[in-house]
Amino acid sequence: MFLVLAQVLASDFVLDAGMIFYMLKSSVVILLCVIMVDFIVRKNELTQRNSYALFFFVLLFCLFPNIFMEPHILLAEFFLLLAFRRLVSVRSSKDVEIKVFDATLWTLVATYFFNWSLLFLVLVFATMFLYKKNDYRNMLIPFVTLFALSLLGFTYFYLTDQLYKVVQLVDFQIAFEFENYTNPRYFVPLLFLVTMGGWACVIFAFKKQSKSFKTRVPGILLVITLIIAVAVMLISEVSNTSELLFSLFPLAVIQARYVERIKLSWLKELILWLYISAPILILFL
């Protein structure tokens, strides 16, 4: 509800029946993303038994109400979460080929909605290397999946006379555009995200790690995901804060890991209240 209110107050669009339906569709996708994040965190024990990751993920969403107006990016994020869910489960060493195929497939589906999502294929190969599943058969799976799906997609667009969509999918426009971030409504949320997320990342990087490398891999995958998300943000032609969406999941988990280890109760409460109050204050910018 806060996200809906934030978008209504922050947008310049006329609130009519069409806009309400448009926002409801975005709300459904956001809800699916929240459910998926909760499932990934709990199933793979990315944090301790708490809801901090979900808490931070939702409030980070609230910082950027423009995300509501980019349903294609929301859908891309949902499918990338599906891909991450399959990749992080590779550590069980069961059905590795199927999991690599699924992760590649979901990443390519995300690419249909936002073409720069293709960069997240790097995460597929990183997972195979980190879990030492990089034999030639597994390494070929992403390429075979890409070829098969590209062939099916081209055939469909050709038969439906929509070949222009193929051009759109492969039109990777690199645009370092940051003019919009001179607007306080864009700059202040970004500054908050960089400050809080950056500090949590520093603590995460230097904290004592588990002795078992295999148990550290999910954390490494989160860092790689964040790096790719930052790269997408920098080079994407989208420049209205919605491109930051791909960084919210890894940052939420990293921030949760930091907070759950804080011994000082006043510091923990301060961080939580900062996250609660920031989206409300940003509405008045």
pLDDT of 136 strictly over 60: yes
pLDDT of amino acid 208: 61
pLDDT of amino acid 204: 83
Mean pLDDT, the chain, whole residue set? 85
Contact 34, 54 (CB under 8 A): yes
pLDDT tens-digit readout, 155-175? 888 888 887 777 777 777 777
Domain chopping of the chain, boundaries = 2-282
pLDDT of 12 strictly over 70: no
pLDDT of amino acid 13: 54
Q: Which residue, among 77, 41, 16, 4, has the nearest Cα to 252 in the 3D structure?
A: 41
pLDDT of 255 strictly over 60: yes
pLDDT of 127 strictly over 80: yes
pLDDT band (50, 70, 90) for residue 206 = confident
